[in-house]
Structure 1
Amino acid sequence: MKNITKFLLNKIPRPLLIKASIIARPLIVLFFKGNQFTDPIDNKSYRKFLPYGYGKQRENALSPGTLSLERHRQMWLYLKNETDFFTQNYKILHIAPEQEFLRKFKKMKNLDYTSADLYSPIVDVKADILDLPFENESFDVVFCNHVLEHIEDDQKAMSELYRVMKKGGWGIFQVPMKNSLEKSYEDFSITDPKERQKHFGQYDHVRWYGMDYFSRLENAGFTVDINFYSKKFSSEERQKFGLLENEILPIVSKK
């Protein structure tokens, strides 16, 4: 299973993977049905989660039902337990939306939901994060997860996200991070996909973020909460939900 998922991630373009996963998901759910792990997003239980990773693969990372990873389940639990996201009327912008989040959020009657991406086949608006086609202060909540590591001019992208967020708004901007790094590691001269995977962990990434990620967000105008939300759960709960103990949930707001 490790070798299969690794091959698919590295050899098949992401838009095709998205379409294929929608078709295959019902069969995968039946095959992995059990009671060892629970996905809080759909409350279904499985005998195991799938391995995931472009390079070194993590065991029990990908939920068969929602195709969520550790970071998605952490975000869902935060939204459910710590916010009024599921009850308050909000205008939402979701950059490069995760499949299950898009499906669920579009059905929520309290949300005016817009998804956007430059390449995804499932979004509402085709948009470049460096030049978003939205008015200033248009959205109450902005989600932008695992996008900025693909963008060389991430400061411009952050400024665009800040521009379209309303005053008093908030968002979640997850990125792949190495908490041990004080400064982000980036080298834009590295363009070969194999070299990018070697240096940055994935063939289409341009950096590993370090702890200076939060100062970059602050430079764009955001107030930042460096939230280790998974630590609120017991070790047994983290194992059950498939969470990573030291993964940061970056929560931003616009004062």
Structure 2
Amino acid sequence: MKLVRFGKAGSEKPGIVDADGVIRDVSSLVTDFAGDALNPRNLAKLKKVDLKSLPAVRKGTRLGSPVARPGNFIAVGLNFADHAAETGATPPKEPILFNKAPNCVQGPNDDIVIPKGSKKTDWEVELAIVIGKKALYVEEKDALSYVAGFCICNDISEREFQAERGGQWMKGKGSPTFGPLGPWLVTPDEIKDVQNLKMWLELNGKKVQNGSSNTMIFGCAHLVSYISQFLQLDPGDVITTGTPPGVGLGMKPPKFLKAGDTMRVGIDGLGEQNQKVVAWKA
């Protein structure tokens, strides 16, 4: 299934994309795509519903994040071998983890706002994992059974805040609008091989990232298992898993986002995002 949340920001309703690409309103069946509603057992029940019997959502309706605001928004750094190489970093021996602010989550096509004082706002197409049931001390062989689905994340990053202001990376990772998710949350049964998905990002119509999840250093199952050794993952938590090469920081000379730029972001089977970059205003 392809799960969506649609409507005005803060008032989204749950929907499912039917076989014809039409979004069907499932708010009569589930309150929101959050918490226990994301348990794979409950999603399996939704899969049996006759979507054609449910109201169609008007084409062009805004899409929000396909999962409600997460309790945890965990990110993995330098997790693609080719991206580590472009930054000159040594590939990590264990996953590098940091937090993104849960309130930076937004819809896939909402504007990206350059933060106040920013000079180095950057882009990162990423594959995001959404947890479907409580996960603690999970074995890698069982890890994907705890996953509700996968979606696109554009892990927007302010590189000066991240690397030049001391402390942890999260300074450059959590500004408002820095976590667009969607358009859909795709259930695992629709993805043949999550470790072999093409990933790309276009900036102003030019493809700048063109990679694959097959160059991840630590795969999705390993990450869910690994993170669960240190904290409890709850339904709706998001793990964004790293980016392939082609970010602005790695260019020679480096290139960063400016007001008026546009981005088109895609991953095989997970849809596309389209964003406009705007300046921060008081």
Richer in strand (by share): 2
Higher RCO, Cα 8 Å, sep 6+: 2
Scaled to the shorter chain, the TM-score interval is under 0.3
Richer in helix (by share): 1
What is the TM-score with the length of structure 2 in the denominator? 0.26
